[in-house]
Chains A and B, each alone.
Chain A
Amino acid sequence: MKALCWHGKKDIRCDEVDDPRIEHPRDAIVRVTTCAICGSDLHLFDGFIPGMMRGDILGHEFMGEVVEVGAENKKLKVGDRVVVPFTIICGECEQCRRGNYSVCERTNRNKDMADKVFGHSTAGLFGYTHLTGGYAGGQAEYVRVPYADVGPVKIPDGMPDEQAIFLGDIFPTGWQAAVQCDIQPEDTVAVWGAGPVGQFTLRAAVLLGAKQVIAIDRVPERLSMAQAGGAIPVNFETESVIERLNELTRGKGPDKCIDAVGLEAHVGAKHLDSVYDRAKQALMAESDRPHVLREMIYVCRPAGVLSVPGVYGGLIDKFPIGALMQKGLTLRTGQTHVNRWAQDLLRRIVEDEIDPSFVITHTVTLEDGPEMYKTFRDKEDGCIKVVLKP
């Protein structure tokens, strides 16, 4: 079968690889009908997250049709259409039973490695480094889904792939980012990054009733899409974010701040700390660029909440812990507990509360995938979200 494979920094190829097969009775094999490139895939593409090996199959946003089912899998049958959450969950461990699916205690095959790096292991992830299990990803024609009697979400007949696929990651990620802010009707919510996760986050904030939602980015198309979703756009290349946010909140600062950017914050001379971070990154003295975290902590209203769906992978520097503590801010982070939200969000799609396909700007074949990584990374051609059709 064909699959998009990682061959090194900025080197992704569409390779011919072996088909996956059932390895455990709870497994299923899914023929991928639609998959997507996620913003966090770009961190692998740019080489900022360690733990990839040459030939690893990428992709953690995918859906398709079940073509083979393990003997113990009573949930799925051949022909079912499923969205597969990017977090692999067992459904039985203590964390899964608590609903903390993204920190499932059993699905990371390289638990020892993760224990050493993070203190305790988190869940296995599809196509996202050997630190999270080294599972083959879904940017492929077929994929093996472990624990397939628990994780996959069945999709009703008639719902287009384009509406359903984002249930596996970015839609619940945006939703969780907003929910964990505990949004109140009088709140101003500022969202840094109007990429795909940011778009879902700000829409979730609107649906959850925030008085004012603000989107911060520099790409006009992204800001225009954010504005369509109900946000006030702020272009950080042409105006001061801190001044604008204070102006929009009568000097008080936003009540809730959401970092939908993560470790690759834009490097620009206007934000000298980002230049400092980039220099330290080049010297391998810092792995992540936390400009957005710093700015959020600085501008957030005291007693506010900071929510971080953006991916961070390692170590940061010059973290203003003093302001965080003195202002009594709450910091909430984490990979998404997709299965906590998926059924509810599926219902919202069915009931026409939201149509997630709004975010798709490019649809291409799997063979065009490597080129689209570059287009997406460089934000060219109006690219906001790429889906691939294997």
Chain B
Amino acid sequence: MHQGRSKAVNEALACGLGFFSIGLGVAELIAPRLFVRAAHARVSENVIRLYGVREIITGVGILMAWNRGPWLWGRVAGDALDIASVRKPAAMAALAGVTALDIAAATAETREENRPPPRLFDYSDRSGFPRPAHEMRGAARAKKERASSPLSPEARISP
């Protein structure tokens, strides 16, 4: 896969996880009892609410930070906590699946951050002008002022 496309896929995955994290966090804040019952949680409803706050903070961090790596690894750490907090095998399996996605996204992000910068092509000599750009400033201005109105369809730059 091209580096550009691969970067786009990684970004989409991280973005998706960010939104998922916020959504899950809001749900945990609003309906902690549901989570306690559904997952046979070992922790109280208040702890689930704290988990919700953690999810929201992590999700916002992933979406807003210039450097997403630490936030994604933060999600992985949170996943470990979540798995340790449930008893039901199905809930554990679901959390394991999300953890796998988080690890994949965090690993890709770290790899991306450590990747040497791509070879830059130097176009600094491609001005298109015969003289330095600052000397070309306004070169067409005098001719433009001869046009009646630049916003009118009749405007012509050339005499």
Q: A residues engaging B (CB < 8 A)?
A: 98-100, 175, 179-180, 182, 185, 199, 203-204, 206-210, 220-222, 224-225, 227-230, 238, 267-270, 272, 275, 332, 337, 340-341, 343-344, 347-348, 352-359, 361, 374, 378-382, 384
User: Which of B120, B129, B158 has a CB less than 8 Å from the CB of A221?
Assistant: B120
Ranked 6 nearest A-B pairs via Cβ: A382-B121, A230-B133, A209-B138, A358-B128, A344-B158, A378-B4
Stretch in B10-18, B50-58, B77-85, B87-95 touching the partner:
B10-18
Q: Using Cβ atoms and an 8 Å threshold, which residues of chain A touch B130?
A: 352-353, 355
Q: Using Cβ atoms and an 8 Å threshold, which residues of chain B touch A220?
A: 120
User: Which of B119, B128, B151, B153 has a CB less than 8 Å from the CB of A359?
Assistant: B128
- Interface positions of B from 108 to 151, Cβ below 8 Å from A: 119-130, 133-134, 136-141, 144, 150-151
Chain B contributes a number of interface residues (CB within 8 A of A) equal to 44
Q: Are B158 and A185 in contact (CB-based, < 8 A)? A: no
- A347–B159 alpha-carbon span in the complex (Å): 11
Query: Nearest chain-A residue to B19 (Cβ)?
Result: A275
Query: Nearest chain-B residue to A239 (Cβ)?
Result: B66
Q: Are A207 and B14 in contact (CB-based, < 8 A)? A: no
- A379–B138 alpha-carbon span in the complex (Å): 31
- A130–B85 alpha-carbon span in the complex (Å): 59
Q: Are A353 and B151 in contact (CB-based, < 8 A)? A: no
Q: Using Cβ atoms and an 8 Å threshold, which residues of chain B touch A207?
A: 136-141
- A361–B133 alpha-carbon span in the complex (Å): 20
Q: Using Cβ atoms and an 8 Å threshold, which residues of chain B touch A268?
A: 11
Q: Using Cβ atoms and an 8 Å threshold, which residues of chain A touch B11?
A: 267-269
Q: Using Cβ atoms and an 8 Å threshold, which residues of chain A touch B137?
A: 206-207, 209-210, 230
Cβ-based interface call for B38 (8 A) = no
Give 28 pairs: A residue, B residue, CB < 8 Å, sorted on A. Answer: A98-B154, A99-B154, A175-B157, A180-B150, A207-B138, A207-B139, A207-B140, A207-B141, A208-B138, A220-B120, A221-B123, A225-B126, A228-B124, A229-B129, A229-B133, A230-B134, A269-B62, A269-B64, A269-B68, A275-B15, A332-B151, A337-B153, A347-B158, A352-B130, A353-B136, A353-B140, A380-B4, A382-B120
Q: Using Cβ atoms and an 8 Å threshold, which residues of chain A touch B155?
A: 179
A-B contact count (CB 8 A): 134
Q: Are B144 and A208 in contact (CB-based, < 8 A)? A: yes
- A361–B15 alpha-carbon span in the complex (Å): 33
A347 → B minimal CB distance (Å): 6
A197 → B minimal CB distance (Å): 14
Cβ-based interface call for B40 (8 A) = no
User: Which of A208, A267, A359 has a CB less than 8 Å from the CB of B140?
Assistant: A208
- A186–B129 alpha-carbon span in the complex (Å): 22
Q: Are B2 and A270 in contact (CB-based, < 8 A)? A: no
Q: A344-B158, A361-B121 are in contact. Are A182 and B151 (CB under 8 A)?
A: yes
A358 → B minimal CB distance (Å): 4
Cβ-based interface call for B156 (8 A) = yes
Q: Are A380 and B2 in contact (CB-based, < 8 A)? A: yes
B158 → A minimal CB distance (Å): 4
B73 → A minimal CB distance (Å): 16
- A357–B155 alpha-carbon span in the complex (Å): 26
Q: Are A224 and B150 in contact (CB-based, < 8 A)? A: no
Q: Using Cβ atoms and an 8 Å threshold, which residues of chain B touch A203?
A: 128-129
- By secondary structure, the B interface counts as loop
Cβ-based interface call for B63 (8 A) = yes
Q: Are A206 and B136 in contact (CB-based, < 8 A)? A: yes
B159 → A minimal CB distance (Å): 9
- A175-B157, A348-B140 given. 18 additional CB < 8 A pairs? A98-B153, A98-B154, A209-B140, A222-B123, A228-B125, A228-B127, A228-B133, A229-B128, A229-B133, A269-B63, A269-B64, A275-B15, A347-B158, A355-B128, A355-B129, A378-B5, A379-B4, A384-B123
Q: Using Cβ atoms and an 8 Å threshold, which residues of chain B touch A209?
A: 137-138, 140-141, 144
Q: Using Cβ atoms and an 8 Å threshold, which residues of chain A touch B119?
A: 382
Q: Are A208 and B129 in contact (CB-based, < 8 A)? A: no
Q: A179-B155, A207-B136, A354-B128 are in contact. Are A185 and B150 (CB under 8 A)?
A: no
Q: Using Cβ atoms and an 8 Å threshold, which residues of chain A touch B66?
A: 238, 270
Q: Are B140 and A341 in contact (CB-based, < 8 A)? A: no
Q: Using Cβ atoms and an 8 Å threshold, which residues of chain B touch A230?
A: 127, 129, 133-134, 136-137
A131 → B minimal CB distance (Å): 24
Query: Nearest chain-B residue to A202 (Cβ)?
Result: B133
Q: Using Cβ atoms and an 8 Å threshold, which residues of chain A touch B12?
A: 267
Query: Nearest chain-A residue to B132 (Cβ)?
Result: A230
Query: Nearest chain-B residue to A220 (Cβ)?
Result: B120
A37 → B minimal CB distance (Å): 16
User: Which of B63, B126, B140 has a CB less than 8 Å from the CB of A272?
Assistant: B63
- A175–B99 alpha-carbon span in the complex (Å): 52
- A332–B62 alpha-carbon span in the complex (Å): 37
Query: Nearest chain-B residue to A279 (Cβ)?
Result: B19
Query: Nearest chain-B residue to A180 (Cβ)?
Result: B151
Query: Nearest chain-B residue to A212 (Cβ)?
Result: B137
B25 → A minimal CB distance (Å): 16
Q: Are B5 and A269 in contact (CB-based, < 8 A)? A: no
